[in-house]
Structure 1
Amino acid sequence: MRRVKNLNYIVLLIIVIVFALTLQGNAAKKTYQWRIGTLVPKIVPLGAGMYEFAQLVEERTDGQIKMDCFPVQQLGNWMDEFDNISRGSQEMGFLPPSPRYSQLSGIYLDFIVTDWDHFYKFFGKDGFLYKYIEKGCDQLGVKLLSFMNIGFEGYSGMKGPVVYPEDITKLKIKTRVGYPTSKIYYEKLGPVVSIDMNEVFTALQLGTVDCQANQSVETVYTQFRDVTKYFTDINSMPAFCCIFINKKLWDSLSPELQKIIQETADEVALKVNNTSQSKEEEYYKKFEEEGVVVTRLTPEQRQAWVKLAKEPGGLWDKSRKSFGTEFIDFLLKNL
């Protein structure tokens, strides 16, 4: 009888072990279906990068992680998409950091970074601006994976040409919705109108605004070239975007999956940056070939725009309340 009981016990133990191993195997093979969005079309490097990232992650995880891609703000305004990633109702995004949050808005000061070398220096993984955004995202429940730049922002519109700030003092200027620092800067120069990106084409077409002050040459060429007669490479700031993932989701993933996602994000971000940098010059040439008046500023001419931001009582000085005196003093000392 005792042998029978022992045998039954052994059989039961084997069944429990097999069941546990089965559960463990199923957990290891858990599949994910995510949504990832961006604000640009697939035809530009950033949009293409999102699709490539999704494809590579699916391949490298053997189908464990699949993503549905949504370009051109199909999931809503890009700042809303950032909110959704923070809340966990959207898993990932190729998006700019949202200026709605004080933890992130400091990088939207005009003329912090005006060339590619400084972009790589300050927004690279060891750069102080990367760490600034990484810390802010962490507080908001978002994991920052990598930084990208689709080009530098300039002046474009139906009236011009523009070389110095005083050239646009009588023009109606469009700045981004939700970017108070750009508004402060350009209010010194002329009437400012804040318009959502989806309405800019019509506003330029109808003359509601004469120009827009915050778009890269790539964005202007691919989306606004029919309402653009002038472009100036003011380089007020990088048109930066990031690869974001919800932090709770990230923390729930195995180290193996995290490694795949992080390495793929870094790989795709590097490709987007390299492609965007090379294509920037191509877009300037295309504009010139199509009759657009393209003004390339000399370092001395660009300095007139930078000076307007950094001078006492200028944009940076007026932004102390928003970003803190310590942050502004740090910028003035180090940039």
Structure 2
Amino acid sequence: MFSKLLAAGAALLLMASSPALAQTQLKLATDSGAKGSPSGDALDRWAKLIEDGTNGEVQVDVFYQNELGSQAEVFDLFVAGDVDLMINWPITAYDERLGVLFTPYMVTSWEEAFEAYKPGGWVNTMLVGIYDDLGLKFFGPWPEGFNGVASRGKYAMTPEEASSLKIRVPAMFPMAESVQALGYQTATIDWSEVFTAIQTGVVDGDGANIIYWDYEYFRDVLDYYNQTKMQFVTGIIAMNSGSWDKLTPEQQKVVEESALTVMEEAFEQAQERDQGYIEKAKEAGMNYIEPSPEQLKEMAERVRSQVWPMMESRVGAEIMETIRANAGGL
């Protein structure tokens, strides 16, 4: 009897220590978006899909904007493996090829964007390789929409008008270069300091964001939103490769399929959400400026001619050849 009890106890101990039954804890974070924001909701959705899909074997701790540090600090943690999963807007300091994400006037419609970024799409294929070199696994985009320039007091439709405005831009190549090509002065300011910078006149506005961010965070200090459509703005759904390798094949399948679900839902919701925030901004008193097709064509030609050659030396000739061959027509 005693030997049977010992055997049973040993079996239970073996089961408890089995990797398949052990609970795995993952950290999921974003650098932009508080709880309850669209990106915050996407974090919650991805976490729940993973936990439900693994029957609780994988638990996910969610960290929203600024809870683990600044944009650069959280990306540091992600590359180091101290954060396992992210929906983020990566800085280009680690690899300037990440500037592919911010190539101005690369796609010109929602339909083009979906075809380019979906699994197997030409942008998606480029990013898989770039992320792999960083020790990260690229799942797909978390799309938001086309961006613009928000400003206080006045807005600009020509380079001459833009020359008197200083616009905040994020630290992502070639965001500043794209705004500068339109004629604006620029200043790189951390996201947490943008409201104060606009309020105190350090800058005249915020550039390179979709209207959601300028409405939600800065509508009290901004008067205009000019939909210049320089970039198709998207977050990135990704995982640290070391963290990925620690999962079982079954768990990996759940994490990846859940990421693709979040991506597909975002494409379904983003265009409608973007239009909804345009209406909210108007109702709040912000003047929404929509350039004509002729004005957009002129802007795109100007920015492409100045920024694309600059990108070639930083992201590589092969990448730029792919962009030129596949970019949307003007």
TM-score (norm 1): 0.88
Instruction: For 1:46 and 1:324, locate their aligned partners in 2 and report how far apart those are by CA, in whole Å.
Output: 31
Task: Give the aligned partner of residue 58 of structure 2.
Answer: 65
Task: Give the aligned partner of residue 234 of structure 1.
Answer: 228
Whichever residue aligns with residue 65 of structure 2, its letter is V
Shift of 1:137: 1.1
Q: 1:270 aligns with which of 244, 247, 264?
A: 264
Q: 1:217 aligns with which of 211, 214, 231?
A: 211
Counterpart mapping for 1:14-33 below 5 A: 19=11, 22-23=14-15, 26-33=18-25
Instruction: For 1:56 and 1:185, locate their aligned partners in 2 and report how far apart those are by CA, in whole Å.
Output: 37
Could you say what secondary structure the match of 1:279 adopts? helix
Q: 1:297 aligns with which of 291, 295, 299?
A: 291
Cα RMSD (Å): 2.3
Whichever residue aligns with residue 141 of structure 1, its letter is G
How many residues are aligned here?
321
Counterpart mapping for 1:8-157 below 5 A: 19=11, 22-23=14-15, 26-38=18-30, 39-100=32-93, 101-157=95-151
The Cα offsets for residues 213-261 of structure 1, whole Å up to 9 and x where unpaired, read as 1111111111111111000111111221122211122122111111111
Shift of 1:272: 2.3
Shift of 1:209: 0.7
Whichever residue aligns with residue 315 of structure 1, its letter is V
Instruction: For 1:146 and 1:331, locate their aligned partners in 2 and report how far apart those are by CA, in whole Å.
Output: 18
Shift of 1:19: 4.3
Task: Give the aligned partner of residue 327 of structure 1.
Answer: 319
Instruction: Indicate if the aligned counterparts of 1:123 and 1:129 stay in contact, CA closer than 8 A.
Output: yes
Instruction: For 1:265 and 1:186, locate their aligned partners in 2 and report how far apart those are by CA, in whole Å.
Output: 32
Relative distance call for 1:248 and 1:195 in structure 2 (3 A) is: same
Unaligned runs of 5+ in 2: none
Relative distance call for 1:24 and 1:42 in structure 2 (3 A) is: closer
The Cα offsets for residues 158-198 of structure 1, whole Å up to 9 and x where unpaired, read as 03233344431211121112x24232333341322111111
The Cα offsets for residues 19-76 of structure 1, whole Å up to 9 and x where unpaired, read as 4993487321110122111121122222101012112211221211111111113112
Q: Displaced runs of 4+ in structure 1, greater than 4 A?
A: 18-21
Instruction: For 1:227 and 1:262, locate their aligned partners in 2 and report how far apart those are by CA, in whole Å.
Output: 40
Instruction: Indicate if the aligned counterparts of 1:40 and 1:46 stay in contact, CA closer than 8 A.
Output: yes
Task: Give the aligned partner of residue 193 of structure 2.
Answer: 199
Instruction: For 2:230 and 2:33, locate their aligned partners in 1 and report how far apart those are by CA, in whole Å.
Output: 20
Are 1:259 and 2:248 counterparts?
Answer: no
Instruction: Indicate if the aligned counterparts of 2:117 and 2:140 stay in contact, CA closer than 8 A.
Output: no
Instruction: Indicate if the aligned counterparts of 2:142 and 2:262 stay in contact, CA closer than 8 A.
Output: no
Whichever residue aligns with residue 308 of structure 2, its letter is W
Instruction: Indicate if the aligned counterparts of 2:104 and 2:304 stay in contact, CA closer than 8 A.
Output: no
The Cα offsets for residues 263-285 of structure 1, whole Å up to 9 and x where unpaired, read as 11111222223222111111111
Instruction: For 1:270 and 1:165, locate their aligned partners in 2 and report how far apart those are by CA, in whole Å.
Output: 37
Task: Give the aligned partner of residue 160 of structure 1.
Answer: 154
Instruction: For 2:184 and 2:142, locate their aligned partners in 1 and report how far apart those are by CA, in whole Å.
Output: 31
Instruction: For 1:25 and 1:61, locate their aligned partners in 2 and report how far apart those are by CA, in whole Å.
Output: 18
Instruction: For 2:54 and 2:109, locate their aligned partners in 1 and report how far apart those are by CA, in whole Å.
Output: 36
Unaligned runs of 5+ in 1: 1-10
Counterpart mapping for 1:301-312 below 5 A: 301-311=295-305
Could you say what secondary structure the match of 2:106 adopts? coil
Instruction: For 2:326 and 2:20, locate their aligned partners in 1 and report how far apart those are by CA, in whole Å.
Output: 48
Shift of 1:114: 3.2
Instruction: Indicate if the aligned counterparts of 2:106 and 2:323 stay in contact, CA closer than 8 A.
Output: yes
Instruction: Indicate if the aligned counterparts of 1:159 and 1:211 stay in contact, CA closer than 8 A.
Output: no
Instruction: Indicate if the aligned counterparts of 2:87 and 2:142 stay in contact, CA closer than 8 A.
Output: no
Identity %, equivalent residues: 24
Instruction: For 1:333 and 1:53, locate their aligned partners in 2 and report how far apart those are by CA, in whole Å.
Output: 34
Instruction: Indicate if the aligned counterparts of 1:33 and 1:67 stay in contact, CA closer than 8 A.
Output: yes
Structure number with greater Rg is: 1
Could you say what secondary structure the match of 2:147 adopts? strand
Instruction: For 2:224 and 2:285, locate their aligned partners in 1 and report how far apart those are by CA, in whole Å.
Output: 9
Could you say what secondary structure the match of 1:319 adopts? helix
Relative distance call for 1:330 and 1:270 in structure 2 (3 A) is: closer
TM-score (norm 2): 0.89
Whichever residue aligns with residue 247 of structure 1, its letter is S
